[in-house]
Each structure stands twice: as structure tokens, then as C-alpha cells.
Amino acid sequence: MPAAQPPVCDFGWKAPDFTLPATDGRTLSLSDIAGPNGTLVMFICNHCPFVLAVLDRMIRDARDLAPLGVGVAAICSNDATSHPADSFENMAKMAQDRDFPFPYLHDEDQSVARAYDAVCTPDFFGFNGDLELQYRGRLDASRGVAGPADLRRDLFEAMRAVAETGQGPRDQIASMGCSIKWKAA
């Protein structure tokens, strides 16, 4: 199956609000996640090889962004009926087993993925302190398998710039991954 790719960054697009259940029992909204210097919303899932290849790097980057005032959350919007690995129970297990430093939110009705026009897993939305989109690029040059450990950290570097200046890089390379698994109409 061919990989899906999101469009280029729509600079200044405002983050749609949401309220979703987290795997730790809380219910969180965008304002609960937002950091003073930026917010990173990552659409991921449990089963996608593109996500699994870089999950350790996503966790590392989230930990490294926290001291810069960037809030981070992950959202799973996949249809758990067609993809049971992405069920809320399995999400909770992954978040605990991998010690996620960010909330893992369940978008069961897929309304948040639709509001964000999420395309694939992983799909990264990096917002500045005013919740204006500044980054819609890749984590790094990994594709389906983790690349070398010394790859440029595109996502981290972009979000560090956003935290420091409010602006993301003008040149961005789109993420790539498995398509969001939409529910049958």
C-alpha cells in the first residue's frame, strides 16, 4: 500500500479546539496541552510501521521540547473496528509500556482528525504560542524504518525555532506514513 503524505504547512492556520479522553483516565482539551511557547499535536497509532519506526524519537523529542515550553500530545483517530491494535485499551497499554511523556488521546468519532485534516500516521502539527500552525513536516528522514541515529531532527529543530521566535521554517519536508483508517460511511 502506498504511503500517504500530508500537504505543506498552511502557516497561521489556527488549531481547532478539542476535548478527548486520555489513556491515563483524564479528559483533556487543547488548552490543557498547549505550552506557552508552542504546541505539538501528533496523529499516531499503535500499528503503523512508520510510527513504530520513529516512536522512540517522538518520545525523545517530546521530552526535549518540554523544557522549551512546548506542550505535546498524541492522538489516535484510527477505526479500532477495522484495526483492533488501535483500540483504546491497546493505546493505554502502549502509552504505559513506552512511558509516553505526553498524553495519548483517543479520537473515537474521528472528528478531531477531520477538523485537523490529518492524513497519515504520523502527521505532525506544530503550533506557536498563539496556536497558529508553523510546522507540518516530518520528524526526520526515516521512512518506514528508523534511519541512522545522527539524522537531522527536523521536527525538533522546527519546534525549537517556533518556541524561540514564534515562526517555523519556510522549507519543510512532509511527513509520510500509513493513511488514517477512516470508519466506513
Q: What is the pLDDT of residue 6?
A: 85
Ranges of the chain with pLDDT below 70? 1-2
Distance between CA atoms of 5 and 178, rounded to whole angstroms? 9
120 is a domain residue: yes
Q: Does 169 map to a domain? A: yes
pLDDT for the residue numbered 183: 95
What was the pLDDT predicted at 38? 98
CATH of residue 117: 3.40.30.10
Q: What is the count of structural domains for the chain?
A: 1
Per the structure, the complete domain to which residue 63 belongs is given by 19-179
Report if residue 4 sits inside a domain.
no
**Residue 99: inside a domain:** yes
Give the pTM.
0.96
pLDDT for residue 5: 83
Per-residue confidence (pLDDT) for residue 2, from 0 to 100: 64
